[in-house]
Amino acid sequence: MKKILLSLFSFFSIYNYSQGCVDRIVCSDDMITLYLLDGNSLTWGRNQYGQLGNNTTTLQNTPVATINEDNWLVVNHGRMHSVAINQDGTLWTWGNNAVGQLGNGNTNNSYIPVQVGTDSDWTAISPGNLHTVALKSNGTLWGWGNNGAFEINNSASTYITSPVQMSLDTDWNKIYGGYFKTFVIKNNGTLWGIGRNNSGDLGTGNNFTLLNLTQIGTDTDWLKISAARDRYTIALKTNGTLWAWGNNENGRLGDGTTINRPAPVQIGNSTWKDVAAGNFHVIGIKSDGTLWQWGSYGWINGIMLIPNSNVPVQVGTDSNWKSVAAGYSSSYAIKEDNTLYAWGYNGGYLGDGTSTSYANPILFPCTTLSEESFENTDISIYPNPVKDELNIFNSTEISSFEIFNVIGQKVIQGTIQNNKINTAQLSDGMYICYLYKNNGQFVTHKFIKE
């Protein structure tokens, strides 16, 4: 039976819901999509150019179902635009299109998904800062959008509004749209790059812009690149070793210095299973499952959220971390039990309905309910959003209630009086209301207090 998310942020531990629901997460500076174990996906974040694809430009600071989620094989986000591959292999984009990064032949922003051409053989997509790169099933590499830094090709065009083939080769395997640059890994494990190289962020040993796709070194064991933000690059090899190059402001390369590195340098002697680069910070998981971070989250309201560190520093003591993702100044990590944690700067991007920033990982647990049970639940609450008084419809079986905030703290509890709950004492924000039936069962509703 298909599951739908009743509330990502309901507080489940009291009620013995001990398993998470998150499979993986992708994010840009300030747009996030969660892929859930039940096959659904949720998206939230900054939406000033319609990156949500819901025909609005309103900031979304709590998770909502990804637009057209049943259609997509994969969704990903660039700095100001979003991209997706449909189940039928067609390619769709939405959001900012100032330099043609949507690839639909013009430079008009789109608040809803628009199809890119008519081809139906797309297999991978990676949005960069202001450009997009993609792979087809025949192994060919394509790109469009900003080309002012030659991140697509060496043509005189400063931007390209429709997909163009970036190479005649047909053995491309993994793609990474970066900050005015592009990285690609071939089937043989070699690493290739093109675009801006001002701080040595392409790893060629110098700072000369690459006008054509060029092999970076001679190694044949590259596994993953993280280079979507700013002028530096973090990478993993197949043997688990961690490498970095480019601009080293705030020590974000993690090599114990703040010296720029124009060629790849190994970071320590440990082995790693995942890594993600933000704008000035990096988070990673070692092979033993421990979580680490370095660089800087910067100053927030006059307070440094996390001090600079030019070497990896362990986050907590847990050793069951599985994967990580990084926003501009925010971090996300998933444990082996599929629970999600987030921390860092929160301009409404952490998804908890607030703008509160966190120096340490905060658990955002899941409670799921079957589609059938949800639809057959007759008990409802209104109005939503609510100001002072929450009404309960069809509440004859309801005897008591509990209300929790988004970080799992119980803020109100009591018995039901006249089918109403007084919410005047609550601060503005999102809450979860548990309504208990006389037989001990309960139903759960999310509501907004304003």
- DSSP assignment of 82-119 equals EEEEETTS-EEEEE--TTSTT-SSS---EEEEEE-SS-
Whether residue 10 is predicted with pLDDT greater than 60 in this model: the reply is no
Confidence at residue 305, expressed as pLDDT on a 0 to 100 scale? 54
Name the band, by pLDDT with cuts 50, 70 and 90, for residue 17.
very low
Whether residue 405 is predicted with pLDDT greater than 90 in this model: the reply is no
Report how far apart the first and last C-alpha atoms of the chain are (Å, whole number).
35
Calculate mean pLDDT across residues 285-310.
Answer: 78
Q: Are 191 and 217 in contact (CB under 8 A)?
A: yes
What is this structure's pTM? 0.80
CA 41, 46, 52, 54 dihedral sign is positive
What is the residue-averaged pLDDT of the chain?
87
Q: Report the SS3 class of residue 81.
A: strand
Which of 236, 233, 248, 237 minimizes the C-alpha distance to 182? 233
Structural domains present in the chain: 22-364 (2.130.10.30), 380-449 (2.60.40)
Name the band, by pLDDT with cuts 50, 70 and 90, for residue 390.
very high
Whether residue 7 is predicted with pLDDT greater than 70 in this model: the reply is no
User: For the segment 224-241, what is each residue's pLDDT rounded down to a tens digit?
Assistant: 999 988 999 999 999 999
Distance between CA 242 and CA 250 in Å, rounded? 18
User: For the segment 136-189, what is each residue's pLDDT rounded down to a tens digit?
Assistant: 999 999 999 999 999 999 998 899 999 999 999 999 999 999 999 999 999 999
Whether residue 272 is predicted with pLDDT greater than 80 in this model: the reply is yes
Q: Please state, in angstroms and as integers, the Cα–Cα distance from residue 159 to each residue in 127, 205, 302, 413, following that order.
A: 15, 27, 38, 58
User: For the segment 308-343, what is each residue's pLDDT rounded down to a tens digit?
Assistant: 899 999 999 999 999 999 998 899 999 998 989 998
**pLDDT above 90 coverage of the chain, percent:** 62
Confidence at residue 417, expressed as pLDDT on a 0 to 100 scale? 86
Name the band, by pLDDT with cuts 50, 70 and 90, for residue 206.
very high
Whether residue 304 is predicted with pLDDT greater than 70 in this model: the reply is no
User: For the segment 407-449, what is each residue's pLDDT rounded down to a tens digit?
Assistant: 567 789 999 888 899 999 998 888 888 888 776 667 778 888 8
Confidence at residue 440, expressed as pLDDT on a 0 to 100 scale? 61
